[in-house]
């Protein structure tokens, strides 16, 4: 990406970010460009599908478009995780009658209407009478009536068709499987080699899952733990602490919990992650009907709007952009929803229902002061000079009324910050003095559309310059008419 400060990158009219999944419907350079122009700020590469060669080509295209548009783009490589599945059937499928008995066993022979293999030996030691197995995203519900070392005799509480390799959810017990399978380890090594910015860790059950992933990542990427297992809720605080960000993955979460439990849980997770000052993404089925239709349902629009009102850092599109017929339209509509919500007169009040008191540190105190000044005065932008992106995270935690122009010499930090609420990241040369900081802050604000003559800016930085973790300086400046004329000239 260009580092010479000459390009004016795309300026959003909203603070919440849009994370779009790429796939067969959207992996061309033309579509990636169109998605970015329509409103996408980051892209998800789903490692559950496709070969490394295809993913490498997609990532290369993202970086090519990123350079052409002058906009830092975050790439999240989403690991598949330990997906549980049934075996295969003699005819490729079968039908389980409602109320009938059905057996899951360790016999590798093809199944039928009465039994099928469950190729996960660890489940036979933990599932007990009365516990549930949910198959095919919860479309079929089985309850264990007799558990033996090599078989589980179940009653079909909800029957229906079942076919080869359908997914299995086990909501009533902690599954003794590692968060990273051998496939995940290979995919993680690939993502690191491709310089992915974020890693999505699927099916997190315990803090140890996050710690193991961090060890393998070696600091090369930021880690986003996906909350999609009820067992993760019991240790949510510890998981948040060990992660760089959190995704509320409502697909599997909605399968294993009663549907009415998910909305309040979503709000609770968002609140906790915001208090920790880390980005939180709301994902799954946000505009699901747009996989096949050019317009969403009213309920889907409300779903996206609620996530924005809750103060989420980003909202995500999955199959809508990866495999749907209307990928660009889905991003366009999500952008329009977010802009409308953030323009609502009650928006500021609603996102501040979650109070975020600062920690007892200089950096947190200054970040809170930035937000207070922006809320009290007509401030055009908060300009944050940062090396690691942590200062930007602290300011975003306060959800200031003004947007945040994040200036960093680290391309890696600029890309990670692209998922952060309210942040407009720019990769630029470092500064070496107070005078240079003021001059560059004003120049970059004008270059990227943050202000005109008479506009006020809040600048946050650290002295000595270029040292991570040294945030200790806050300064308010006003753009003069002469500076505007020089910029236009």
Active site residues: 44, 85, 226, 284
Residue 289, class by beta-carbon neighbours within 10 Å (0-12 exposed, 13-18 middle, 19+ buried)? middle
Are residues 271 and 288 in contact, defined by beta-carbon separation less than 8 angstroms?
Answer: no
Q: Are 229 and 256 in contact (CB under 8 A)?
A: yes
CB-based contacts of 403: which residues, under 8 Å, 6+ apart? Answer: 15, 381, 382, 422, 423, 424, 450
Nearest to 375 by CA among 351, 391, 393, 392: 351
CA distances from 260 to 256, 269, 444 (A): 12, 15, 47
CB 313 within 8 A of CB 16: yes
Residue 5: how many other CB atoms lie within 10 Å? 17
What is the C-alpha separation between 191 and 189, in angstroms, rounded?
6
Task: Give the 3-state secondary structure of residue 380.
Answer: strand
From CA 440, how far away is CA 39, in angstroms rounded? 27
Residue 271 CA to residue 259 CA, distance in Å, equals: 20
Q: State whether the Cα torsion 322-324-328-332 is positive or negative.
A: negative
Q: CA–CA separation, 340 vs 332, rounded Å?
A: 12
367, 398 in Cβ contact below 8 A?
Answer: yes
Whether the CB-CB separation of 284 and 266 falls below 8 Å is answered with no
What number of H helices and E strands is found in the chain? Answer: 17, 22
Tell me if 165 sits within 8 A of 88, measured CB to CB: yes
Short-list 148, 173, 165, 187, CA closest to 84: 165
Contact 313, 396 (CB under 8 A): yes
For 283, phi and psi rounded to 5 degrees? Answer: -135, 160
Contact 273, 252 (CB under 8 A): no
Spell out the SS3 assignment of 398-422.
Answer: CCCCCCEEEEECCHHHHHHHCCCCC
Q: List, in sequence order, every residue forming a beta bridge with 93; answer none if it has no partner.
A: 163
Distance CA(354)–CA(274), nearest Å, equals: 8
């Amino acid at each position: 990406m260009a580092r010479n400060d000459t390009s004016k990158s795309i300026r959003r009219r909203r603070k919440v970010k849009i994370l779009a999944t790429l796939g067969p419907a959207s992996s061309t350079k033309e579509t990636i460009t169109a998605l970015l122009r329509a409103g996408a700020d980051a892209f998800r590469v789903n490692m559950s599908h496709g070969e490394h060669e295809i993913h490498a080509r997609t990532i290369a295209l993202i970086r090519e478009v990123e350079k052409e548009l002058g906009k830092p783009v975050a790439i999240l490589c989403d690991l598949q995780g330990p997906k549980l599945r049934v075996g295969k059937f003699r005819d490729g499928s079968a039908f389980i009658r409602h109320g009938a008995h059905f057996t899951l066993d360790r016999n590798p022979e093809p199944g039928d209407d009465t039994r099928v293999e469950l190729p996960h030996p660890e489940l036979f030691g933990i599932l007990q009478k009365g516990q549930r197995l949910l198959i095919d995203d919860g479309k079929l519900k089985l309850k264990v009536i007799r558990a033996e070392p090599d078989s589980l005799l179940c009653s079909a509480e909800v029957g229906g068709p079942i076919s080869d390799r359908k997914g299995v959810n086990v909501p009533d017990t902690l599954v003794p499987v590692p968060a990273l399978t051998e496939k995940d380890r290979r995919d993680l090594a690939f993502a690191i080699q491709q310089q992915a910015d974020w890693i999505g860790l699927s099916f997190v059950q315990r803090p140890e899952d996050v710690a193991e992933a961090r060890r393998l990542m070696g600091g090369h990427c930021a880690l986003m733990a996906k909350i999609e297992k009820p067992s993760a809720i019991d240790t949510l605080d510890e998981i948040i602490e060990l992660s760089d960000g959190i995704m509320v993955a409502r697909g599997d979460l909605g399968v294993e919990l009663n549907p009415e439990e998910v909305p309040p849980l979503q709000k609770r997770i968002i609140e906790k992650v915001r208090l920790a000052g880390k980005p939180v993404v709301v994902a799954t089925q946000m505009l699901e009907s747009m996989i096949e239709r050019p317009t969403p349902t009213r309920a889907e629009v409300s779903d996206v709007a609620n996530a924005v009102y809750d103060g989420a850092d980003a909202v995500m599109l999955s199959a809508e952009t990866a495999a749907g017929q209307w990928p660009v339209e889905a991003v366009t509509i999500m952008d329009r929803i977010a802009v409308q919500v953030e323009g609502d007169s009650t928006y500021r009040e609603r996102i501040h229902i979650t109070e975020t008191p600062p920690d007892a540190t200089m950096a947190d105190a200054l970040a809170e002061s930035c937000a207070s000044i922006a809320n009290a005065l007509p401030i055009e932008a908060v300009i944050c000079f940062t090396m690691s992106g942590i200062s930007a995270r602290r300011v975003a935690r306060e959800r200031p009324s003004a947007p945040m122009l994040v200036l960093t010499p680290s391309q890696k930090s600029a890309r990670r910050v692209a998922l952060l609420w309210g942040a407009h990241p720019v990769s630029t040369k470092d500064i070496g003095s107070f005078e240079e900081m003021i001059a560059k802050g004003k120049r970059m604000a004008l270059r990227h559309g943050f202000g005109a003559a008479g506009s006020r800016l809040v600048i946050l930085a650290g002295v000595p310059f270029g040292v991570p973790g040294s945030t200790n300086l806050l300064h308010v400046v006003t753009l003069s008419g002469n500076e505007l004329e020089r910029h236009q000239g």
